[in-house]
Amino acid sequence: MLIAGFPAGPWGTNCYVAATGPGSECVIVDPGMDATAGVVELVREHRLKPVAVLVTHGHVDHMWCVAPVAGTYDATAWVHPADRHLLTDPMAGMSPETTQMLLGGDHEWAEPDDVRELADGQDLELAGMRFVVDHTPGHTAGSVTFRAPYDAADVSAVMFAGDLLFAGSIGRTDLPGGDHPTMMRSLTSKVLTLPDDVVVLPGHGEQTSIGRERATNPYLLDLQER
């Protein structure tokens, strides 16, 4: 499995490209602000054909370039129905600080031509890969993660975690649509139940693993002590 990623835009949002290997179809995960050029570069470098854009949640730093990327490659965009409205109205999920930063800009928001909705437990077969969708609300109402099997002796799967889980931290819950008790339930039921060897590819920062976070992440340690 080929996975490449890069931080994009002022929020340093990780955008990922996943494929079975060079010269194949691929999926794009969370093309945020200023991600288009990086996607084009990776697609050209590895001779890939994007067929799907996966959205972990509808915050603007993760979906800014969903429509242009999906449109460029005639790809299908996948998003949870609880966050679908943010594709056309991202202000509804923004903090006052972010809203102020964007005020006065000439920003237009539209859904891609082909949008499909995600469901908890759904199996997606895309670009020759299998992704399991886990609905993990708390950061937003429609937050999801995508887990894909990974054929390595020390890694059973990779999880595109969005802003659910970071190295040493978790996603904030103080924005519109966020809820801390719901986040704790998502972490308990959808993170702590996973094997330690699952690699976590977060929406911001460095990659980590379930085992590392189970042992060191203060939020997960607190949940395990309860």
Give CA–CA dist 152/73, Å, rounded. 30
Contacts of residue 90, defined as CB under 8 A and 6 or more positions apart, other chains included, come to 58, 59, 60, 63, 64, 109
Q: Return the CATH architecture of domain 2-100+110-225.
A: 4-Layer Sandwich (3.60)
- Return the residue matching tokens 């993170």: 191
pLDDT tens-place string over residues 106-134: 667 889 999 999 999 999 999 999 999 99
pLDDT-based confidence at 102, cuts 50/70/90? low
Q: Which helix (H) or strand (E) holds 208?
A: strand 208-209
pLDDT in the model for residue 78? 98
Sorted by where each begins, the domain ranges of the chain are 2-100+110-225
What average pLDDT does this structure show over 31-49? 95
- The C-alpha angle with vertex 172 and arms to 170 and 175, in degrees rounded to 5, equals 160
User: What would the pLDDT profile of 22-33 be if each residue is shown by its tens digit?
Assistant: 999 999 999 999
Q: 3-class SS at 139? A: coil
The CB density around residue 66, as the number of other CB atoms within 10 Å, is 28
E strand segments, 66-194: 76-79, 115-117, 123-126, 129-135, 144-152, 155-162, 165-166, 169-170
The position carrying tokens 């950061």 is 139
In the predicted structure, residue 97 carries a pLDDT above the cut 80: no
Distance, CA of 103 to CA of 95 (rounded, Å): 12
For 135, 165, 184, 213, 215, the CA distances from 224, given in Å and listed in that order, are: 21, 15, 11, 12, 10
CA-based nearest residue to 1, from 28, 24, 35 = 24
Could you tell me which of 113, 40, 37, 110 has the C-alpha nearest to residue 70? 113
Q: What is the pLDDT of residue 151?
A: 84
Interatomic CA distance for residues 182 and 186, integer angstroms = 6
Contact call for residues 196 and 184 (beta carbons, < 8 A)? no
Q: What is the pLDDT of residue 114?
A: 96
Q: Which of 203, 162, 170 is nearest to 8 (CA)?
A: 203
The predicted structure's pLDDT at residue 132: 98
